[in-house]
Amino acid sequence: MINIKPFQSNETFALELDAHDPLSHYRKQFLIPKFQNEEAIYFCGNSLGLQPKGVKEAIDGELSKWEKLGVEAHFEKEKPWYSYHEIFPDMVSKIVGSKPHEVVLMNSLTVNLHLMMTSFYNPTPKRHKILMEQNPFPSDYYAVETQIRYHGLDPEKSLMTAKPKSNSPILLMEDWEEVFKDQGEEIALVLIGGVNYYTGQGFDIERISRLAKQYGCKIGIDLAHAAGNLILQLHDWEVDFAVWCQYKYLNCGPGAVGGAFVHEQYAEHFNGPRLAGWWGALPDKRFQISSSFKPQPGANGWQISNPPIFSMAPCRVSLNLFNEAGMENLREKSLLLTGYLEFLLNEISNSDFSIITPKNPEERGCQLSLHIKEKGKEVISNLKSQGIICDFREPGCIRIAPVPFYNSFHEAWRFSEIFKNLLEK
């Protein structure tokens, strides 16, 4: 067994870490994009996760059922389309820390966000505000802004973002406490990312949820950058709802079906507003025209349409891999892999960049965000020309995400070498 710590910056050490990685065999289960006939260094799983090898066969299987059976495929023996989605709650609950009846796969992220806000944002003259983190993802901001307008309110007065006291990109727990102390009684809904897409900061959802409850606010979490990345305990943290997409860390393919969590406390008794469709109704009422809407208990009751089978086929394959590898094991490797990459980057003595993601591993997932003083886009295209895939976010941030499922320690080492040489030029 090697001594993992202290880390060393030589190549042999990187190879040793790979040799001792109990999850290294999972890389073979994914299709790695090529660069000049070699495997590219893909550090972009925070944007689009890679394709598991079983996906093509899974989609082909559904295509041939459509071909051979037509509508009868809804009721064939093996994986009938009518109940195709019913295996997901068990798989998904292990990933987000919920009970199975608290989660459902449906629609896409922003659509789910709107549906959840329809149910959980109920402004009154006294309590009308929505609190977000500073610099939220644009789609979330637009969703919140337009929900506020939908209720006839003014985003100037009803949309607020938590800001740090200093000019820091990172929010401290004190900053949250301050906002609640000042305006907690006016906040109807807290809506934050589990991990901020830009800085890579992971928020202490448990504590923020407790604060929200203490001030009588509802709380919803956007897990786009947290699902499949961090250990989550949505049920125990008592958040009211959560939504996420599955094409980032969850590797379910571009535009994959999204997910939603609704806390158990609303499973049987939810009297608030909701927008319904036949798929959320009790199964025996699905085809009844004259009866008024009676929701299924739990998150299932928020479904509207019948599910997209071709889009769900990859989810079966990918979520299965997550259950097999286990979130705890993935997170354990992730802490080591990102910690190692951070170590290597800190060894580079160059003041043209700095890491803005929190140093505390508990406050981040696998992504590191590098603030580049100048020429960020040039750096990115240079990295690309050397087989590294990562991305740039305005105004000056390179995001690199080594993913424990398919990235190696040696890739982290190669990245840091290439990056160092590039900065020295």
Ligand X SMILES: *Cc1c(COP(=O)(O)O)cnc(C)c1O
Residue 78: CB atoms within 10 Å: 6
- CB of residue 107 to ligand X, shortest distance in Å: 9
62 binds ligand X (CB under 6 A): no
- CB of residue 422 to ligand X, shortest distance in Å: 27
Pairing status of strand 397-400 against strand 391-393: antiparallel
- CB of residue 399 to ligand X, shortest distance in Å: 11
User: Is the CB of 256 or the CB of 330 nearer to ligand X?
Assistant: 256
Query: Which range, of 137-145, 330-338, 370-378, 395-403, touches ligand X by CB under 6 A?
Result: 137-145
CB 306 within 8 A of CB 279: yes
376-385 as b/e, with b when 16 or more CB fall inside 10 Å? beebbebbee
User: Is the CB of 108 or the CB of 407 nearer to ligand X?
Assistant: 108
Query: Which range, of 102-110, 119-127, 306-314, 381-389, touches ligand X by CB under 6 A?
Result: 102-110
222 binds ligand X (CB under 6 A): yes
The rounded distance, in Å, linking the Cα atoms of 40 and 33 is 6
| Exposure on the CB side of residue 71, measured as CA atoms within 13 A | 0
Q: Which of 29, 110, 147, 416 binds ligand X (CB under 6 A)?
A: 110
Residue 86, both tokens:
């019913």
Burial class of residue 332 (count of CB atoms within 10 Å of its CB; 0-12, 13-18, 19+): middle
- CB of residue 18 to ligand X, shortest distance in Å: 29
139 binds ligand X (CB under 6 A): yes
- CB of residue 311 to ligand X, shortest distance in Å: 12
The rounded distance, in Å, linking the Cα atoms of 148 and 158 is 7
256 binds ligand X (CB under 6 A): no
User: Is the CB of 16 or the CB of 140 nearer to ligand X?
Assistant: 140
The rounded distance, in Å, linking the Cα atoms of 407 and 367 is 12
224 binds ligand X (CB under 6 A): yes
| Exposure on the CB side of residue 36, measured as CA atoms within 13 A | 6
251 binds ligand X (CB under 6 A): no
# binding residues, ligand X (CB under 6 A): 12
Q: Which of 49, 89, 123, 193 binds ligand X (CB under 6 A)?
A: 193
Burial class of residue 253 (count of CB atoms within 10 Å of its CB; 0-12, 13-18, 19+): buried
29 binds ligand X (CB under 6 A): no
The rounded distance, in Å, linking the Cα atoms of 396 and 390 is 14
- CB of residue 268 to ligand X, shortest distance in Å: 29
108 binds ligand X (CB under 6 A): yes
Q: Which of 137, 176, 392, 415 binds ligand X (CB under 6 A)?
A: 137
CB 337 within 8 A of CB 412: yes
140 binds ligand X (CB under 6 A): yes
| Exposure on the CB side of residue 66, measured as CA atoms within 13 A | 9
252 binds ligand X (CB under 6 A): no
CB 196 within 8 A of CB 166: no
Bridge partners of 160?
131
Q: Which of 55, 91, 103, 109 binds ligand X (CB under 6 A)?
A: 109
Q: Which of 225, 263, 331, 333 binds ligand X (CB under 6 A)?
A: 225
Footprint of ligand X (CB under 6 A): 108-110, 137, 139-140, 193, 197, 222, 224-225, 245
